[in-house]
Structure 1
Amino acid sequence: MSKNEIVWGILGAAKINDKVVMPMHSAPKCRVKGIASRSPDKAREAAAKYGLSVAYDSYEALLADPEIDAVYIPLPNHIHVEWTIKSVEAGKHVLCEKPIGLDTQQVDRLIAARDKNGRHIQEAFMVRTHPQWLTVRSLIDEGAIGDLRAVTGGFTYNNTNPHDIRNQSELGGGGLLDIGCYPITTSRFITRREPRRVVALMERDPQFEVDRLGSVLMDFDGVQASFFYSTQIHPFQRMQFHGTKGRIEVEIPFNAPADRPTRLLISETTSAGVGTDRWLEVPVCDQYGIAAATFAEAILSGSPQAIPLEDARANMRVIDAVFRSARSGAWEIIPVN
């Protein structure tokens, strides 16, 4: 590709755009041209809010614009696959919010669409390109905490709004797909392994019929990773990595702030056998802007994507197994292929 920038279009006027659009617009080699909505009024309001030049009165109108190179999709979970496929068939690259599909079979459809149309598709797990997570991975690879043996974590918030799409089962709502997927992808990222089996407990809301509380144990053959998630308890998030010589704690692992540094707590054992704690600050950055810039660079240069669809498929295999275990009450093996 001879271009030196990627021109973006936003497919949907979702609330998360408040975090994404401006960092994307100012990211290296990126420019956001416009936003589409099924409501022309919402599209115009959003375009004015973000200072974009074009408000498209339909998703189809945005996809028909030949200047748009890539689309960001923040639509409800149950239509991610539909509009990702329509986008690549229109010749656009796609950065789609997580979960990019509702199960492994849906991700297989996306892989087929990618291969057929020759366009990049990536799941928008912005944590995977945040410098704090790259730092954690490097520290563990370098042996800063000895041999990694256990991972623990949690991610929660409290939302009982019946109108919120995360509480609507028919729209792909529920805690595992919304936030439980984060400890899964980061555990896989840090260990550089795939879990071979999982066991899980899950509680569903009797009114919304979505999972509101879950506990998961993943067996990485030598590393045990456990986490809990909930959509109806006090907000909390933390990830910890425990090794034979120390521990790393990620203070704000998932909703990393864009206005102040993030911090890692590193607990180590000195040569004298004394334990010491130190905080490592990671400089201020915007994880949404970094994710957009990294994706744009892969498109422009032909370099490997940070999160290829095969990785999204592997993550979804774990999610599928968690749901199966919650139903069976037993360990569930995760298929290798």
Structure 2
Amino acid sequence: MSEIIRWGILSTAKIGVQKVIPAMQKSKLGKVTAICSRSLENAQKTAADLGIEKAYSSYEELLADPEIDAVYNPLPNHMHVEWTLKALQAGKHVLCEKPIGLNKAEALYLQTEASKFPDLKVMEAFMYRFHPQWQKVIELIHSGAIGSVKTVQSFFSYYNVDPANIRNNPEIGGGALMDIGCYCISFPRFVFGEEPLAVSGSMDLDPAMGTDRLTSGILQFSAGKSATFTCSTQLIPHQRAHIFGDQGQIVVEIPVNAPPTEATKITLITREKTEEILFEAVDQYTLQADAFACSVLDKKPVPTPLSDAIGNMAVIDAIKQSSETGKWVELK
């Protein structure tokens, strides 16, 4: 192992090329060494555009490279578990895009198989948790700034009706809940530090594509705490998160896609004052890569273990079940 992490990128997926790879290249703890695609020409062009040393024409070829320490997996959702396991079998650490799999059963299977490689790290890439604005949110909550936290409300939407887009293919894990609703589920679990006891969900399916174009959910936690959310792939783009306590609230203006080149803010509202808390521009994908690299280099647990990914998938499954049955679903 070198003193930095040498990354290999599985595929030339848009999120990787446009957001994650450039952020990883700013990391002092890692270097993007190789990228692959089913098309060698595509891999070579992307490598040239991004200044990446090696380009491979298959995922297998990249995984066989002994000079790669860790893999970033931004493949379509239905390929996450398969290629994360193949990377582990090749001796690579893995940072896998969310959601970790198509359902809880897949996530549990991944956890079981990953346990066979105790020296290798696996983490689901919920990058928002590493942004200073969310770190401040957790700090404020723990300090009692808004009193006893009772409920979290979130909203996340964009507009995409292209049937050729993978996010609009239900067979491979497309739809609002899997693509962006997973964030809305993650928020309250992060804030409360616990799993919900029961959920209720409602999903509106696109009649042509079959994906959920609008999903809403209610999550019940212990001691009367709750969370509500709506996500959509066919509404005007918007995102927001509100955390309410009995003494105040926190508003996170851009909870997910915090821009890497612009300052961000959260607003703390109490009975005494309204305070805007500003944060200098940072790239949360760089912070995520650094955190993962630290876990590898220091041989310590990753910040977000697979148990957290399993918890998120369990809620996603329950929201789907609730929408189908019209009933509350208890989580065990």
TM-score (norm 1): 0.96
For residues 120-178 of structure 1, the C-alpha deviation after alignment (integer angstroms, 9 at most, x for no partner) is 11111101111111110110111000111111110000100011000011221111010
1:321 aligned onto 2:318: yes
Letter in 2 for 1:264: I
Task: List, as ranges, runs of 4+ consecutive aligned residues in structure 1 with deviation greater than 3 Å.
Answer: none
Residue in structure 1 matching 2:259, options 254, 257, 265: 257
For residues 238-284 of structure 1, the C-alpha deviation after alignment (integer angstroms, 9 at most, x for no partner) is 000111111100000000100111100111112xxxxx211101221
1:283 aligned onto 2:285: no
Q: CA deviation at 1:19?
A: 0.5
Letter in 1 for 2:71: V
Match of 1:150 in 2: 151
- The 5-angstrom pairing of residues 150-229 of structure 1 reads 150-221=151-222, 222-229=224-231
SS of aligned partner of 2:274: strand
How high is the sequence identity, in percent, across the aligned residues?
A: 46
Unaligned runs of 5+ in 2: none
The count of residues paired between Structure 1 and Structure 2 equals 329
SS of aligned partner of 1:95: strand
More off after superposition, 144-153 vs 2-11: 2-11
Match of 2:64 in 1: 64
CA distance in 2: counterparts of 1:171 and 1:104, whole angstroms: 15
CA distance in 2: counterparts of 1:325 and 1:313, whole angstroms: 18
Asked whether the 8 Å contact 1:129–1:306 carries over to 2, the reply is no
Q: CA deviation at 1:288?
A: 0.5
CA distance in 2: counterparts of 1:184 and 1:322, whole angstroms: 10
SS of aligned partner of 2:43: helix
Q: CA deviation at 1:304?
A: 2.1
Match of 1:38 in 2: 38
1:299 aligned onto 2:296: yes
Unaligned runs of 5+ in 1: 271-275
TM-score (norm 2): 0.97
CA distance in 2: counterparts of 1:7 and 1:14, whole angstroms: 19
Letter in 2 for 1:329: G
SS of aligned partner of 2:288: helix
SS of aligned partner of 2:115: helix
C-alpha RMSD over aligned residues: 0.9
Asked whether the 8 Å contact 1:77–1:101 carries over to 2, the reply is yes
Asked whether the 8 Å contact 1:126–1:288 carries over to 2, the reply is yes
1:268 aligned onto 2:267: no
Match of 1:16 in 2: 15
Residue in structure 2 matching 1:309, options 285, 306, 310: 306
Letter in 1 for 2:116: K
Asked whether the 8 Å contact 1:151–1:240 carries over to 2, the reply is yes
SS of aligned partner of 1:263: strand
